[in-house]
Each structure stands twice: as C-alpha cells, then as structure tokens.
C-alpha cells in the first residue's frame, strides 16, 4: 500500500474502534447503546445523517448475536472488562506526521484518551523528529535502540519519559539487541539486552 492508503486504512480502523468504545461508555443502558453506536458512526436517522449506516447495521446485528460483546444478559459490559486493544503504527511518520494530523486525528485522541476506553497506542519509528508532538508527549513508555542520526538522538532524549540527558553517546554506539527503557513510572532509564531470538529455547 502507498503511504496515503496506509494512512486511510489505519485511520478508518482506529476511528471505528475508538468510536465503538466511546459509544459503549456513553450509553446509559443496553437499550440506548444502539442509538449511541449509530451516532458514533454518523448514522443519525433523526437528523437525516446517513454516515456509515451499513457498518452500523452490521454491528448492531452482532450486538444481538453476542459477536459484539457489549451486552451481557441485558446489561451493559464495562469498557474496563473488555479485552485491551493495542493499535500498533509501524513506520509511524507516514501516518503520524504533523502535516497529516494538522486537522485532528484519531491517533491523537487515542494517545490522550485511549486508556479509559481500553485502547493503547504503540508507535514504531526511527524518525522521532517526524512524529506529531501531540502524540509523542502522551507516550508513557519508550524503548530506544541505537540511533545513528544526531537529530533523532536529540529528539529521542527530549521526548523520553525519564531523563535521558547524558545518554546521547550510548544511543549512538549501542549494539544489536541493546535497548534503553524509559517510562513515566521509572525515575531513571533502564538499559536492557534483548536475547537473540534465534537462540531462545536452544534453537540456533
């Protein structure tokens, strides 16, 4: 897929998932959930909005069969009891760059509010400088590997959840499998060595 196609597909999938979880949280009862889902998908028949009507019809049908597990024995399921979903954005600059996100983005919404809906965001990139700052500032855990580019090292240090200043040299010379973990729940960075995948369990 082209970068634009990746952006569109990723955005549609993430937006529908985020909208469904918000609808569940907004519904007051099992009886009002159908209306919340339709409104979340822009299918408001009262106001003549078609939106994603076909998708809304399918999802509401799945509510009745239990395939969409938002109702249990006539009672709304809490979003905290649903499986946690992690949205992974590989080659993140093609999707999370500021130009594409300047009019708003579901990924920015997920980075800010996703926790309360059971949705996480994982960003994978070698170009920290090309990622929207609104997303970067909301990331709580970073795994930083070797970065050869000086600008990217500076950006990685600046955006780390724990103080990485003074580790710029290490980020340049780290070897294969070496990682620097920074997280909002840790006061200091944690150097790590990831085992060689081919050698795990004696496989060579």
| CA contacts within 13 A on the Cβ side of 149 | 10
Residue 111 included in any domain:
no
When mean pLDDT is compared across 1-5, 24-28, 119-123, the lowest value belongs to: 1-5
Residue 165 included in any domain:
yes
- pLDDT the model gives residue 111: 92
pLDDT in tens, 133-151: 889 989 899 999 998 888 9
Residue 93 included in any domain:
no
- pLDDT the model gives residue 40: 92
Task: Decide if pLDDT at 170 tops 90.
Answer: no
Structural domain boundaries enclosing 48: 3-78
Q: Which two tokens stand for residue 117?
A: 């809906």
When mean pLDDT is compared across 23-32, 115-124, 161-170, 183-192, the lowest value belongs to: 161-170
How many domains does the chain divide into? 2
CA–CA distance, 45 with 107 (Å, rounded to integer): 28
Last residue of a domain, one of 61, 78, 95: 78
List Cβ neighbours of 50 (8 Å cut-off, separation of 6 or more).
42, 43
Task: Decide if pLDDT at 1 tops 70.
Answer: no
What average pLDDT does this structure show over 7-35? 92
Residue 37 included in any domain:
yes
């Amino acid at each position: 897929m082209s970068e634009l196609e990746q952006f569109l597909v990723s955005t549609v999938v993430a937006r529908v998932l985020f909208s469904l979880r918000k609808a569940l949280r907004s519904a007051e009862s099992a009886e009002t959930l159908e209306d919340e889902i339709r409104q979340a998908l822009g299918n408001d028949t009262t106001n003549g909005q078609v939106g994603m009507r076909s998708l809304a019809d399918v999802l509401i049908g799945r509510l009745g069969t239990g395939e969409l597990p938002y109702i249990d024995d006539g009672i709304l399921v809490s979003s905290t009891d649903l499986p946690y979903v992690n949205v992974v954005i590989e080659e993140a600059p093609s999707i999370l760059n500021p130009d594409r996100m300047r009019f708003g983005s579901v990924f920015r919404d997920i980075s800010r509010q996703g926790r309360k809906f059971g949705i996480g965001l994982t960003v994978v990139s070698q170009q920290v400088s090309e990622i929207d700052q609104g997303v970067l500032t909301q990331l709580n855990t970073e795994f930083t590997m070797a970065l050869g580019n000086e600008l990217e090292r500076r950006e990685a240090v600046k955006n780390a959840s724990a103080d990485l200043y003074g580790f710029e040299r290490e980020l340049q010379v780290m070897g294969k499998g070496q990682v620097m973990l920074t997280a909002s729940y840790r006061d200091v960075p944690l150097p790590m060595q990831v085992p060689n995948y081919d050698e795990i369990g004696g496989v060579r």
